[in-house]
Structure 1
Amino acid sequence: MGSPQTVTLSIEDGGKTEVSQPSGLPLPSKARTIALVVTLTGAAFLNSLTVQSAVIVLPTIGKELDIPEARQQWIISAYTLTFGCFLLLWGRLADIYGKRLIFMWGCAWVTVTTIVIPFSPNEICFDVLRGLQGLGAAANVPTAIGILGVTFPPGKAKNYAFSFYSAGAPLGSVFGNLLGGIVAEYASWKWIFWILACLAAAVTIAGYLIVPVPVVNTGTKTSVDWVGGTLITMAILAFMFAMTEGNVVGWSTPWIPVLIVVSVILIALFVFWQLYLEKKTTRSPLMKVTVFRNIHFSAAMVIMLLFFASFNNFLVFATYFYQDYQGLSIIQTTLRFIPTGVVGICTCFVTAYILSRIRGNYILMFGTVCIGVTRL
């Protein structure tokens, strides 16, 4: 990356601080920095938009493709399945081949698969294409975070950049509801995916024009931990498939507990393999599992796991509750989801402001208590 150069940055209290930045990556102008943050936020926005716009029209898609109600959850699960399974591997490939390259290919892949999805003739084809769509999202979402991380030095600017990025998810939720509700009410649900494809194409083009090109790639192709990537991908795939399909075929079905046991064994093998690479060799592991010895980090990860598990479940449950149980229309269901996204956006920016004034664990505790109260 070249020798570091010292850059002096002004901060709000009138003081100055010095940060080291590689000489090959000069700090971008203010306008380009804003454009970069907006472009990368597009990844989080599209991810949430893709999920929520499909959630709002689950019953409609199910009726048109003749998908039984018990299997309609696969419209969502197929996407989240591949998204969750390939996050680690794509993250490592981004470290090796360059975050910009993986981000752009991920966005382009999402664009292509989203265009094709509405042409699905049956349930299986639709679910497979949704899975391939999630594969692209697994590439661009973590790399967008990584690009932000290496672009901004620690400080308020970085807090605001990450908060703006975080706001992309609730913003996508709001517009996902509006997009799914309005389009499905007045046109075919297929237009939802074609509009999403146009947005994904715009993010791809913006990424090509805005995201800076790294001068030197310090990684080597041989440093990819393919063994670890295969183990953790197969483990998460087996576990998530068993968890999702168990609701459809019944938890007493023999192969469901077998898949769960197999996934636990694969996860254990992955952990031992990563420890071996980290402590016994000079090869880079897919992830340093020793980081989980930090109790604060582990607790934060568990809290986020439980949050996303409950929140995603709430979205699907609420959709069926409003449309099937209460008999509301799609547009009426849309209006009832809007407050969730609006409050989420406001919370992201408020958090960015108070993050330097209040300890992060207190903010996390407050958010967790709020989630618990709403689930009572």
Structure 2
Amino acid sequence: MSNAEHPVETNAPHPRRWVALGVIAIAQLMVVLDATIVNIALPSAQKALDITDADRQWVVTAYTLAFGGLLLLGGRIADYWGRKRTFLVGAVGFAAASALGGLANSGEMLFAARALQGAFGALLAPASLALLTVLFTEAKERAKAFAVYGAIAGGGSAVGLLLGGVLTEYANWRWCLLVNIPVALVALALAIPLVPESRAHGNTTYDIPGAIVVTLGLASLVYGFTEAAKPDEGWDSATTLAFIGAGVVLLVVFVLLQARARNPLLPLRIVADRNRGGAYITSALVGAGLFGAFLFLILYLQNVLGYTPLEAGFASLPVTVGVLISAVVASNLLPKVGAKPMMILGPILGAGAMYSLTFIGLDTSFWTHLMPAQLVLGLGLGFTFVPLSSLALIGVPEHDAGAASAALNATQQVGGSLGTALLNTIATGAITAYATTHLPSATSPQEGQKVGLLAQVDGYSAAFTWAAVMILVAAVVAGVMIKVRKEDLPAEGTVAHVG
């Protein structure tokens, strides 16, 4: 999306731009829904497809890895191949991958479908954002368009939680994937006649080697973490160490490729800036703590407290409410106090909320414990992500704006992938250790069942502890690395470009 800010075609507003916004919004809702709708379905899918605890995180990480790893390439393709064409291919591919996942008869087939969804999502999301930037050339109209886009991004997660609950409980977990097919068909039917084509000119080379190397490197790391969760492997096994080592080497190779490529996927000058570097590290750490912890919250609600999928969906809403409240407050505070204070306060609130979730038990109260913790977690996230979005564009040349904002989204997804895999390994290890220690002393099936539930609580609590640590480290990184003053922040219209 590097040249999306200045369309070469014309600056005259497109006559069908508001209708086109509605079409783009439908497709964006599909991508956003997918981030949360599958979490609610996961406990049911895990049972139905006999997925092990060590492997269950692939349902989340296969999607976020492909999405985060290919997002920057997707932005380049949208710019140079054609934004409408990329949008249409992304929507068709996303629907086809959703059908494959909905019909999956094994865990491996579901993981592959989720990876395909992530890959096509990496085409769809930046193409949507670039189309909006081209269609809305007037500053006030553009701000309104991006406000709609942002509202969908914020509210879509809540819709996903509830829709996931309804579909899993009253239909089947498979419909959490199959529901994307009619949505994509509507978006396609409307986009073909209503959305105009546009593309950028200039250097149209793609950094395919960079995209392949970074995605393989991240996948190798996640696979290494997954192997560590298996009882017959562990952290010190040759397989675990080989995959983690290969992942690190491939990521180093990626950096070397970016330094030498003529048109790199991620220009290193973007990351080298102290404030942006701090923003990207903070984004990755918060993503790492958040994605994994959210998965374990859903598992805890359904597997331990016995909530139905719909009840679990409702019970997860306080996070979204907190985000929506603090996002409004943070947007108003940003010009007055600057980014740094909020980027320290946000992760501290988030880490505190996560730490309070470590005190869960077999009968933890929703209203006095889980609801307040989630609300504070949401408040912390809103205070973190709003200033992060503006920091991503500070001092960025016009032609790097797309890459800089896409990189922020990518770091969050990549952090989420690695964090989910790592936290799942920690939780699985703790569950196994607790069960191994306490099951021999159980004298009845009922006691054995109780030990099994207590083992899960112990594992989820360990995951929440490490998630809190990751998010707290983000506050330290922000405090040390962010030096920008409030006067340096981009103008209001510029912030809206971030995806």
1:14 corresponds to which residue? Answer: none
Residue 221 of structure 2 aligns with an amino acid whose one-letter code is F
Conserved? CA contact 1:164–1:349, under 8 Å: no
TM-superposed deviation, 1:288: 0.9
TM-superposed deviation, 1:237: 2.4
1:187 counterpart = 2:171: yes
Ranges of 4+ aligned residues in structure 1 off by more than 6 Å: none
2:313 corresponds to which residue? Answer: 334
Query: Structure 1 CA distance, aligned partners of 2:226 and 2:28?
Result: 24
TM-superposed deviation, 1:336: 0.6
- The correspondence for 2:187, drawn from 203, 227, 238, is 203
Conserved? CA contact 2:167–2:175, under 8 Å: yes
Q: Deviations over 1:58-105 (max 9, x none)?
A: 111112222223322222222222222222222222232122222221
2:473 corresponds to which residue? Answer: none
1:71 aligned counterpart, secondary structure? coil
2:365 corresponds to which residue? Answer: none
1:236 corresponds to which residue? Answer: 218
1:218 counterpart = 2:201: yes
1:89 aligned counterpart, secondary structure? helix
Residue 12 of structure 2 aligns with an amino acid whose one-letter code is P
Structure 1's 158 and 366: CA in aligned 2 closer, same or farther, altered over 3 A? farther
Structure 1's 343 and 125: CA in aligned 2 closer, same or farther, altered over 3 A? same
Query: Structure 1 CA distance, aligned partners of 2:327 and 2:194?
Result: 24
Query: Structure 2 CA distance, aligned partners of 1:323 and 1:206?
Result: 38
Query: Structure 2 CA distance, aligned partners of 1:245 and 1:172?
Result: 33
1:369 counterpart = 2:353: no
Conserved? CA contact 1:167–1:344, under 8 Å: no
Tell me the matched-pair count: 349
Give unpaired runs (5+ residues) of structure 1. Answer: 1-18, 278-282
1:319 corresponds to which residue? Answer: 298
Query: Structure 2 CA distance, aligned partners of 1:366 and 1:344?
Result: 14
Q: What TM-score comes out, normalization by structure 2 length?
A: 0.63
Query: Structure 1 CA distance, aligned partners of 2:148 and 2:342?
Result: 17
TM-superposed deviation, 1:235: 1.8
Structure 1's 136 and 192: CA in aligned 2 closer, same or farther, altered over 3 A? same
1:289 corresponds to which residue? Answer: 268
2:104 corresponds to which residue? Answer: 120
Conserved? CA contact 2:13–2:137, under 8 Å: no
Q: Deviations over 1:8-54 (max 9, x none)?
A: xxxxxxxxxxx98645352235xx44444444344443223113111
Conserved? CA contact 1:85–1:237, under 8 Å: no
2:196 aligned counterpart, secondary structure? coil
Conserved? CA contact 1:77–1:244, under 8 Å: no
- The correspondence for 2:281, drawn from 302, 308, 315, is 302
Query: Structure 2 CA distance, aligned partners of 1:234 and 1:163?
Result: 35
Query: Structure 1 CA distance, aligned partners of 2:88 and 2:27?
Result: 10
1:57 counterpart = 2:41: yes
Residue 315 of structure 1 aligns with an amino acid whose one-letter code is F
- The correspondence for 1:267, drawn from 224, 248, 251, is 251
Query: Structure 2 CA distance, aligned partners of 1:93 and 1:304?
Result: 24
Query: Structure 2 CA distance, aligned partners of 1:66 and 1:267?
Result: 33
TM-superposed deviation, 1:285: 2.0
1:247 corresponds to which residue? Answer: 229
Residues 97-112 of structure 1 mapped to structure 2, 5 A cutoff: 97-112=81-96
Structure 1's 228 and 73: CA in aligned 2 closer, same or farther, altered over 3 A? closer
Structure 1's 226 and 76: CA in aligned 2 closer, same or farther, altered over 3 A? closer
Percent identity between matched residues is 25
Conserved? CA contact 1:79–1:132, under 8 Å: yes
Structure 1's 125 and 204: CA in aligned 2 closer, same or farther, altered over 3 A? same
Structure 1's 60 and 121: CA in aligned 2 closer, same or farther, altered over 3 A? same
1:24 counterpart = 2:17: no
1:257 corresponds to which residue? Answer: 241
1:11 corresponds to which residue? Answer: none
Residue 234 of structure 1 aligns with an amino acid whose one-letter code is L
Conserved? CA contact 1:52–1:173, under 8 Å: yes
Query: Structure 1 CA distance, aligned partners of 2:115 and 2:61?
Result: 8
